[in-house]
């Protein structure tokens, strides 16, 4: 509660950074250093630094409670969690996925010798379009890997219907969806598994970190073996596992972050509302609004610029902002289907992905983080308006 107040007060105009100070797309929010030092003292005393220590165990339990899910397996980062999620369900052959995502989603398939089959996205949610999935299914298809992009929930009911009919597994890349709920239920319980990231750029960070969420205790057990080289006990190795473990320092930070995350999200929401209030109605600039029944987490603030109406291209706005030391990002451009290692596959052809290609050419993620001051928001908004026709 105290932190919520302190984050909120940062929005007032009494703190005025110099006009040309760098503004990055994000800044990590951290708990009070003194609290973390106390955790480190405990850690120094115990000398138990990793391999399922007491911070790890406590964080797994408290995180599952906070998220409203059954089981969580912590990882060193989201990419290792994705790789392991595909391994634990023995996914192979072809997997239907979205090209409108961060590199790690598609690379996790490639590292498992799985062929990504790219599916176009829905123009409103920007997530994999469920109506296009069936036409991409072949005898080699074993799973669907959708992403809740920007924390916007996929149409999980439709995806589940298709998966059930065709006997496919569903793994959600939920790296943007920490804490997101639909009708007050966590989105992370959808599908067979969901994968989270706690990278420094995420709304909830343990510096690096990640997790797999599952509703099935037996699957959690297998995940835990796999992330520890496949050891089921001191002498038995049940699978060719990996070292995916989160260490005690990360887990200690995660435990502290849980106390403050509601305040961080509330502050992000406030900033998102401010942008919307001041940018809504600008010709040629589309915003994403909240979706009904969804508890959003505001991880990014994407806007979509159509050059003809706006009078300047997305890239022109990106550079105009950069010229004023404002570092917006083109998440997610280029599409992963355009990467050299994927672009020659038939599903990667731009004519198969018309919506994803347009969205990717228009998107700009504006700075959004709890410490962003109103004077900085005004500077960003003014630059965008100055660039318009």
DSSP string for 48-73? --SSS-HHHHHHHHHHHHHHT-SEEE
Considering only 210, 241, 302, 367, the residue that binds ligand T4K (CB under 6 A) is: 210
Restricting to residues 125-154, name those near ligand T4K by CB under 6 A.
147
Restricting to residues 251-310, name those near ligand T4K by CB under 6 A.
none
Rounded distance, CA 214 to CA 116, Å?
23
In terms of phi and psi (left: phi > 0; alpha: psi -120 to 50; beta: otherwise), the region of 151 is: left
Distances from the Cα of 190 to the Cα of 79, 115, 239, 293, 371, angstroms: 20, 23, 26, 16, 32
Q: Which is nearer to ligand T4K, 310 or 379 (CB)?
A: 379
> Judged by CB under 6 A, how many residues of this single chain contact ligand T4K?
24
Considering only 63, 72, 78, 302, the residue that binds ligand T4K (CB under 6 A) is: 78
Q: Which is nearer to ligand T4K, 241 or 367 (CB)?
A: 367
Q: Which is nearer to ligand T4K, 147 or 310 (CB)?
A: 147
Q: Among candidates 247, 200, 226, which has minimal Cα distance to 76? A: 247
Min CB(173)–ligand T4K separation in Å:
5
Residue carrying the six token digits 């835990």: 224
Min CB(365)–ligand T4K separation in Å:
9
Considering only 25, 91, 119, 261, the residue that binds ligand T4K (CB under 6 A) is: 25
Q: Which is nearer to ligand T4K, 28 or 284 (CB)?
A: 28
Considering only 8, 24, 215, 258, the residue that binds ligand T4K (CB under 6 A) is: 24
- x/- mask, ligand T4K, residues 308-347, rule CB under 6 A, reads -------------------x-x-x----------------
Q: Which is nearer to ligand T4K, 115 or 201 (CB)?
A: 201
Residue of this chain nearest to ligand T4K (CB atom) = 78
Rounded distance, CA 280 to CA 287, Å?
7
Helix, strand, coil abundance in the chain, percent, nearest 5: 45, 15, 40
Q: Does 79 engage in binding with ligand T4K (CB under 6 A)?
A: yes
- x/- mask, ligand T4K, residues 99-128, rule CB under 6 A, reads --xx-xx-----------------------
Q: Which two tokens stand for residue 120?
A: 């176009």
Q: Residues 141, 119: contact at Cβ < 8 Å? A: no
Q: Which is nearer to ligand T4K, 173 or 248 (CB)?
A: 173
DSSP string for 298-344? ---EEEEE-HHHHSS-HHHHHHHHHHTTEE-B-TT-S-GGGSTTTTT
Stretch that binds ligand T4K, among 72-80, 119-127, 211-219, 231-239 (CB under 6 A): 72-80
Restricting to residues 82-101, name those near ligand T4K by CB under 6 A.
101
Stretch that binds ligand T4K, among 169-177, 281-289, 353-361, 372-380 (CB under 6 A): 169-177
Q: Residues 24, 327: contact at Cβ < 8 Å? A: yes
DSSP string for 159-191? HHHHHHHHT-EEEEE-TT-TT-EETTEEGGGSS
Q: Residues 382, 375: contact at Cβ < 8 Å? A: no
Considering only 56, 107, 169, 199, the residue that binds ligand T4K (CB under 6 A) is: 199
Bridge partners, 171 (sequence order): 193
Residue carrying the six token digits 């908004």: 381
Q: What residues make contact with ligand T4K under the rule CB under 6 A?
A: 24-28, 77-79, 101-102, 104-105, 147, 173, 175-176, 197, 199-201, 210, 327, 329, 331
């Amino acid at each position: 509660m105290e932190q919520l107040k302190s984050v909120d007060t940062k929005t007032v105009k009494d703190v005025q950074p110099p006009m040309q100070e760098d503004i990055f797309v994000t800044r990590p929010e951290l708990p009070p250093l003194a609290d973390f030092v106390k955790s480190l003292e405990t850690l120094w005393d115990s000398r138990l630094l990793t391999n399922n220590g007491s911070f790890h165990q406590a964080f797994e339990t408290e995180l599952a409670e906070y998220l409203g899910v059954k089981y969580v397996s912590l990882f060193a980062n989201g990419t290792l969690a994705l790789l392991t999620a595909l391994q634990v369900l023995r996914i192979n052959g072809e997997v239907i996925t979205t090209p409108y995502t961060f590199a790690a989603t598609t690379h996790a398939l490639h590292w498992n010798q799985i062929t990504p089959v790219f599916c176009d996205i829905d123009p409103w949610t920007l997530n994999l379009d469920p109506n296009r999935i069936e036409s991409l299914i072949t005898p080699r298809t074993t799973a669907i890997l959708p992403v809740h992009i920007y924390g916007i929930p996929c149409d999980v009911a439709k995806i589940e219907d298709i998966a059930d009919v065709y006997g496919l597994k569903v793994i959600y890349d939920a790296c943007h969806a920490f804490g997101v709920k639909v009708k007050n239920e966590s989105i992370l319980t959808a599908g067979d598994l969901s994968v989270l990231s706690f990278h420094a750029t995420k709304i909830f960070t343990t510096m690096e970190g990640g997790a797999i969420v599952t509703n099935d205790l037996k699957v959690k057990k297998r995940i835990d073996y796999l992330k520890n080289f496949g050891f089921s006990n001191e002498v038995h190795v049940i699978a060719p596992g990996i070292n995916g473990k989160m260490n005690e320092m990360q887990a200690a930070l995660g435990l502290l972050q849980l106390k403050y995350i509601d305040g961080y999200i509330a502050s992000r929401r406030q900033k998102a509302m401010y942008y919307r209030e001041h940018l809504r109605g600008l010709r040629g600039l589309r915003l994403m609004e909240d979706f009904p029944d969804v508890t959003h987490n505001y991880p990014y603030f994407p806007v979509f610029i159509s050059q003809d109406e706006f009078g300047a291209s997305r890239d022109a706005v990106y550079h105009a902002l950069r010229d004023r030391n404002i570092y917006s990002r083109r998440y997610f451009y280029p599409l992963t289907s355009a990467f050299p290692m994927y672009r020659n596959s038939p599903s990667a052809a731009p004519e198969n992905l018309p919506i994803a290609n347009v969205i990717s050419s228009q998107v700009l993620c504006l700075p959004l983080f709890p410490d962003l001051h109103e004077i900085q928001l005004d500077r960003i908004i003014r630059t965008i308006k100055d660039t318009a026709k």
